[in-house]
Amino acid sequence: MVMSIFQVVVTYVSLLWFVRLSEGFPDPAQRDLLMRQEASRQTGGRVVLTEAEQMLDLHLHQLKVQEMSAALFPPAVHFFKAKPLIQKSPIFKLLQDMPKGAALHIHTSSLVGVEWLVKNITYRPHCYICFTWDNSVRFLFSDRQPFPRWDCFYWQLLETLRAKIGNTEGFDNSLMQHLTLFTDDPDGEYPSQEVVWEKLEKAFIAGAGLISHAPVLKDYFYRGLEELLQDNIMYLELRSGLSRVCVALFTPDP
């Protein structure tokens, strides 16, 4: 019995040796060569770093190691909870200052942060607001009281409404909640994709009432370019619908 087991082991080792000789296993040297060839064909793969660039690369690697060893690792938690950590991250600040190429597929309706929309645009004259039956809001710029419509029965001038409320900071924060998906309880508030899409559509519809006003749209585009410049982005691919306001804004004078 012992002899039979010994014969099996010897036979198995011999087969492994034969398979290795017949290239059944990948040669580590060939694999390493293939990986280096593939890396060299990537964008920038053949660029030789200067001494200063190598020092920066080492510094960036050290920052990554520190962040990965922290109690809260941003990629491991929900983005809504990770965003404050990312904004405080030294890696983010370093990458923010570095020059970048293009921001692709940016929609007009999501070009600028909601805080600027609320703190700037909603404080402009003739800005009206309406609270809908489905817990959403609508905005409209008008020289006079807008007429009621099926989803908005009562329009209020924001300037007058803020004067009545008094707590403008709390009111502005509530408006931001209508223009963004951010929440302190994303898992509880968004139990399914359908709920997320519904809230996203409401946010875009609400924001459209602000940026579709021609004087606002000009400032909106300028602000969007400023925010991209702050992130050192050199090129923008903007996607916009052919609304009457956009057509009038970009049509040259005869």
Greatest extent of the chain over all pairs of C-alpha atoms, in Å: 102
pLDDT tens digits, one per residue of 82-127: 999 999 999 999 999 888 888 988 888 889 999 999 999 999 999 9
Domain of 199 in residue numbering reads as: 108-212
232: in domain: no
Average pLDDT of span 21-31: 71
Domain count, the chain: 1
Neighbours of 131 (CB within 10 A): 15
217: in domain: no
Neighbours of 249 (CB within 10 A): 13
Q: Which two tokens stand for residue 175?
A: 């408006």
252: in domain: no
131: in domain: yes
Using an 8 Å Cβ cutoff, are 246 and 219 in contact?
A: no
Using an 8 Å Cβ cutoff, are 179 and 203 in contact?
A: yes
208: in domain: yes
Per-residue confidence band for 150, with pLDDT thresholds at 50, 70 and 90: confident
56: in domain: no
87: in domain: no
pLDDT tens digits, one per residue of 175-227: 999 999 998 888 899 999 999 999 999 999 999 999 988 889 889 999 999 99
Handedness of CA 238, 241, 243, 248 (dihedral sign): positive
Average pLDDT of span 19-25: 53
18: in domain: no
Listed residue (6, 180, 214) closest to 79, CA to CA: 180
Three-state DSSP at 54 gives: helix
Quick one: which H or E segment has residue 95?
helix 90-97
